[in-house]
Amino acid sequence: MTAQSLTRGGVAAPPVRAVHLGLGSFFRAHQAWYTDRAAGDDPWGFAGFTGRRPDLADTLSAQQGLYTLVTRAAEGDRHDVVRSVSRAHAASDHHAWLAHLSSGDVRVLTLTVTEAGYLRNARGGLDADDPVVRRDLTVLRDDPTAPVRSVPARVLAGLLARRRSDAGPLTLVPCDNLPDNGGVLARVVRDLAELVDPSLLDWMDERVSTATTMVDRITPEPTDADRRAVLEATGVDDRSPVVTEPFSEWVIAGEFPGGRPAWEDTGAVFTDAVQPFEERKLWLLNGAHSLLAYVGSLRGHTTVDEAVADPHCAALLDEWWRACTPHLSLPPGDAERYCAALRERFANPRMRHALGQIATDGSQKLPVRLLPVLHRDLDAGHRPDVVVTVLAAWLLHLRGTGLPVRDVRAAELEPAAQAPLPQSVPAVLAALDPALADDAELVTAVRSRVADLSGHR
């Protein structure tokens, strides 16, 4: 049998009414999927832009934006073709970026650019010392239409173009795993606007809203085996399928004065307060993921399902969840149900979610996944032992034990971690939060746990 290609068969793609920055697996498993299912007789199409490399834009363009979403349950796979990506552009196609964002048809800009992509400094504002930000600042001051590379600068360039064309209201919808992701995005873009053209700030107040979101759907990096499995199951030679789990959640707070897809029809929840959902998800799921990534990999595991099958890791997970629960603000019983679901989600043996993907950029993830719980416990006079273990395991990871280090701060963290423990422990803790390095008891506990963990390898 000849393999088929993905094609729209002469049916037009939905009109571009939304733009996405950070075209990758998660966007395709989540926001694009919600939008596709919400289409009804009022379809919204995305113009998706990659964050950096062109590959996915090229592959998707060759398939008219179509791709197969594989929903992988423990019992088997479901295959759906998602049709809401109408155009796929490489990051370098700045002309198209400005054109779409200048269009009055476009009312929503979603983003998935990783935690590191927001380029924040230690105080949460824009890191104006970052070399890419510095270069973009010079470029934008000179010519606001010239290509820029950082996320804050790309968004700002799009807004400057939109103001020139007077294209109407726009809502920014960040979908990265960050608390108050709307506040984070608004702040870095406004910080840059102040440096480039402060007159934009008033225009932004009138024309640009920023939503805050909690997003949840485990979506591992697809593999060649996934692609072969799609070909075998469907007969379609999809060059870029996405594999995800059946579970999905999207909680959104914000205004959409220019309109939006009917995401609530497909399960998204609109609320005034995302924070309780965000904390539940970032601590219970993402915190647990980071725990498994650093401790599980030290114990020789490579995927989440392998790690949770290890009774030692499973016991640490329970300990972590017990530490989080008193600090969550959703009704009692909610966390229990969420953790029960997580046990099943993590154990799905067919997902093969690589610990290496989760371990990336710990310097950006641990502060939002673990430290809020650690600080609350320390303030209450307890030191959660499980957090000591994760911090010790992270330090060993930075020392080269287990998974390769991929972190935006690797150049600073790897040498710091190599020093003898009396220096390396406070240095690495301070990189997460200077207050941690000032806590002598915590430093001692982490030192002794590093020694225990290395001894038991």
User: Which residue in 14, 22, 65, 362 binds ligand NAD (CB under 6 A)?
Assistant: 22
Minimum CB distance to ligand 44H smaller for 160 or for 178 = 178
Count of other CB atoms within 10 angstroms of residue 416? 19
Q: At what angle do helices 131-142 and 181-196 cross, to 10 degrees?
A: 50
Contacting residue, 36, 93, 176, 191, with ligand NAD by CB under 6 A: 176
Residue least distant from ligand NAD (Cβ): 24
Q: How far apart are CA 457 and CA 443, in angstroms?
A: 21
Quote the CA–CA distance of 139 and 117 in Å, as a whole number. 19
Rounded CA gap, 376 and 256, in Å? Answer: 35
Give the strand pairing for 45-49 and 85-89: parallel
Q: Which residue number, 113 or 431, has a Cβ lying nearer to ligand NAD?
A: 113
Binding-residue total with ligand 44H (CB under 6 A)? 10
CA distance 444 to 456: 19
Nearer to ligand NAD, 342 or 429 (CB): 342
- Interface pattern 198-237 for ligand NAD (x via CB under 6 A): -----------------x-xxx------------------
Residue placing its CB nearer to ligand NAD in the complex, 55 or 205 = 55
Q: Which helix (H) or strand (E) holds 424?
A: helix 421-432
Residue nearest ligand 44H by beta-carbon distance: 289
Give the separation between CA 432 and CA 181, rounded to whole angstroms: 19
Interactions with ligand 44H, residue window 271-310 (CB under 6 A): 285-286, 289
Is residue 112 a contact residue for ligand NAD (CB under 6 A)? yes
Measuring CA to CA, which residue among 72, 68, 64 is closest to residue 82?
68
Q: Are 355 and 301 in contact (CB under 8 A)?
A: yes
Using CB under 6 A, which residues numbered 174 to 193 contact ligand 44H? 177
- Strand-pair partners of 88: 48
| Least gap, CB of 57 to ligand NAD (angstroms) | 9
235, 288, 405, 433 from 359: Cα distances, Å: 35, 12, 8, 19
Q: Which stretch binds ligand NAD (CB under 6 A): 106-114, 165-173, 232-240, 429-437?
A: 106-114
Q: Residue 157 interacts with ligand NAD (CB under 6 A)?
A: no
Pick one of ligand 44H, ligand NAD, none as the site partner of residue 102 (Cβ within 5 to 8 A by kind): none
Residue 286 contact, options ligand 44H, ligand NAD, none, Cβ 5-8 Å cut-off depending on partner type: ligand 44H
Output the smallest distance, CB 199 to ligand NAD, in A.
26
Under rule CB under 6 A, residue 126 binds ligand NAD:
no
Cβ 216 to ligand 44H, closest distance in Å?
4
Alpha carbons 428 and 313: distance in angstroms, whole number: 23
- Given 3-state DSSP classes, what are the helix, strand and coil percentages for the chain, each rounded to the nearest 5? 50, 15, 35
Interface with ligand NAD, residue 71, by CB under 6 A: no
Sheet with 45-49, strands from edge to edge, namely 85-89, 45-49, 16-21, 108-111, 170-174, 208-210
Smallest distance, Å, CB 281 to ligand NAD?
9
Rg (alpha carbons) of the chain, rounded to whole number: 22
- Provide the binding-site residues for ligand 44H, judged by CB under 6 A: 115, 177, 216-218, 285-286, 289, 358, 360
Report the interface residues with ligand NAD, using CB under 6 A.
22-27, 50-52, 112-117, 151, 176-177, 215, 217-219
